[in-house]
Amino acid sequence: KQEVTQIPAALSVPEGENLVLNCSFTDSAIYNLQWFRQDPGKGLTSLLLIQSSQREQTSGRLNASLDKSSGRSTLYIAASQPGDSATYLCAVEFMEYGNKLVFGAGTILRVKS
């Protein structure tokens, strides 16, 4: 069974700090990996999608990397701000599972001002 694991489950950092969120997955045969942000009372917002042929994607202060061989992805947030406080979810589209996503449980991020 394909699984996605996120570490840490929660993280609290002071404003301005650079931080890394981790995601691991059990099968290297994937179509893509996606990072989402979830705010309280809201749905998920897609942040970055890394295709299996790519090593990283960048959007503003966010950079996501993908290492299929080791089954790992990281989401790097530069110069964190209180507005970055949210739950960050990693999801993988495994080839064996078809065009469907398997989600990790998420990392709850709090950026203190």
Partner 1 sequence: DADVTQTPRNRITKTGKRIMLECSQTKGHDRMYWYRQDPGLGLRLIYYSFDVKDINKGEISDGYSVSRQAQAKFSLSLESAIPNQTALYFCATSKGGGGNQPQHFGDGTRLSIL
Contact footprint for partner 1 (CB under 8 A): 4, 9, 31-32, 34, 36, 41-46, 49, 51, 89, 91, 93, 99-101, 103-106
Looking at the Cβ atoms of 26 and 81, the one nearer to partner 1 is 26
Contact 84, 109 (CB under 8 A): yes
Shortest Å, Cβ 100 to partner 1:
6
CB atoms within 10 A of CB 91: 20
Looking at the Cβ atoms of 77 and 102, the one nearer to partner 1 is 102
Looking at the Cβ atoms of 14 and 40, the one nearer to partner 1 is 40
